[in-house]
């Protein structure tokens, strides 16, 4: 007879086998197309010249460190740390430092800053690393650059170049739209090379080469608006005052008098003439003597407004007997 411990062991073994079966089943996600497959990344043959040119421009932009590392700083007492930092800045070459700052001011680094500059049209061209995670960031940069007509290329070695030349990694880089950059030959070559490697159409390239396009002297055709058909005045419903009605049925305002003796016309100013019998007779008698002259003309009086013939319901309060 199996004990409780044996039953628990068997149940545990069964669960372990079921788990192994589930792990063996491979879960594969089927996608129509990955976003990385549709990107035009520069290969090593085309990107070599661009990498060399970018390194030559960014190498002088590296700033000398005038700060202690934490391993060195924690050995110095707190009251002497500020003086030791000033001592490091004494040996710093100020001209070289200011030149590096000026070179850095010509570029835009980082994902957020390049997206913002693309949307505002403040850069001439851009270089982006294709290995973004998530990949949606790269797709957004490419789509915005095509909308704005700004050339952007995907360079795989951008991150390592920035780390080697500047001292920090950057997955996006843009060249600012300033007068000093347009006149400099080195920046011109960088812009023209990115322009040639980008997949923009010819019309967009012509717009980028001329930063300020001349005004067009061609006469534009004026589109005259279609004549508006006036709406009839009778269809517009307007109230002259609050007490009047908005909708008044069409027809002449002149009162039509009905000559037929079967109808009686009621007026507000004067009442119509009504014939009343002189004596109290029944309906049968009046029908028989239709030719008799037993009718008189009623006096002309104004019609009174209609009032309902009922009384309001009165309720009595019944005192409860305590």
Range scoring the smallest mean pLDDT among 36-50, 68-82, 259-273: 259-273
Residue 97 is predicted with a pLDDT of 79
- Of 89-98, 125-134, 305-314, highest mean pLDDT: 125-134
**Mean pLDDT of the 130-134 span:** 77
**Mean pLDDT of the 107-113 span:** 89
pLDDT at 311 over 80: no
Structure tokens at 142: 């490419």
Residue 142 is predicted with a pLDDT of 84
- pTM here is 0.46
- Of 64-78, 210-224, 254-268, highest mean pLDDT: 64-78
Sign of CA dihedral 149, 151, 153, 159: negative
pLDDT at 137 over 50: yes
> Is 58:162 a contact under the CB 8 Å cutoff?
yes
Burial of 116 (0-12, 13-18, 19+ CB in 10 A): middle
Rounded distance between C-alpha atoms, residue 192 and residue 271, angstroms:
101
Rounded distance between C-alpha atoms, residue 61 and residue 259, angstroms:
109
pLDDT at 10 over 80: yes
**Mean pLDDT of the 257-280 span:** 49
For 219-262, the pLDDT digits (tens) are 445 556 667 666 555 555 667 777 777 666 654 444 445 555 55
Residue 290 is predicted with a pLDDT of 47
pLDDT at 34 over 60: no
Residues of the chain above pLDDT 70, percent: 52
Range scoring the smallest mean pLDDT among 46-55, 103-112, 211-220: 211-220
**Mean pLDDT of the 72-99 span:** 75
Q: CB neighbours of 68 closer than 8 A, spacing ≥ 6? A: 76, 81, 84, 85, 88
**Mean pLDDT of the 29-58 span:** 70
Range scoring the smallest mean pLDDT among 8-12, 73-77, 176-180, 316-320: 316-320
**Mean pLDDT of the 104-132 span:** 88
Q: How confident is the model at residue 218 (pLDDT cuts 50, 70, 90)?
A: very low
Residue 159 is predicted with a pLDDT of 87
């Amino acid at each position: 007879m199996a004990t409780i411990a044996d039953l628990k062991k068997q149940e545990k073994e069964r669960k372990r086998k079921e788990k192994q079966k589930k792990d063996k089943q491979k879960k594969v996600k089927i996608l129509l197309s990955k976003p990385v497959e549709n990107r035009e990344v520069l290969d090593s043959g085309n990107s070599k010249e661009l990498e060399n040119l970018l390194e030559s421009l960014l190498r002088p932009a590296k700033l000398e460190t005038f700060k202690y590392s934490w391993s060195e700083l924690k050995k110095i007492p707190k009251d002497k740390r500020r003086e030791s930092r000033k001592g490091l800045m004494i040996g710093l070459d100020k001209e070289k430092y200011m030149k590096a700052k000026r070179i850095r001011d010509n570029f835009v680094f980082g994902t957020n800053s390049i997206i913002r500059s693309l949307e505002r049209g403040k850069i001439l061209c851009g270089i982006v690393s294709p290995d973004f995670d998530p990949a949606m960031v790269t797709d957004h940069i490419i789509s915005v650059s095509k909308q704005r007509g700004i050339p952007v290329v995907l360079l795989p070695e951008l991150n390592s170049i920035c780390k080697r030349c500047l001292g920090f990694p950057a997955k996006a880089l843009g060249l600012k739209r300033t007068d000093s950059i347009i006149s400099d030959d080195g920046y011109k070559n960088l812009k023209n090379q990115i322009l040639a490697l980008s997949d923009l159409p010819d019309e967009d390239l012509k717009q980028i080469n001329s930063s300020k396009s001349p005004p067009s002297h061609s006469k534009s055709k004026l589109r005259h608006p279609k004549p508006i058909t006036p709406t009839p005045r009778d269809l517009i419903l307007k109230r002259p005052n609050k007490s009047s009605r908005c909708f008044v049925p069409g027809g002449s305002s002149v009162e039509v008098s009905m000559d037929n003796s079967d109808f009686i016309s009621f007026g507000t100013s004067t009442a119509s003439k009504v014939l009343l019998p002189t004596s109290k007779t029944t309906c049968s008698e009046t029908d028989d003597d239709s030719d008799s002259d037993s009718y008189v003309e009623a006096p002309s009086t104004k019609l009174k407004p209609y009032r309902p013939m009922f009384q309001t319901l009165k309720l009595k309060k019944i005192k409860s007997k305590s």
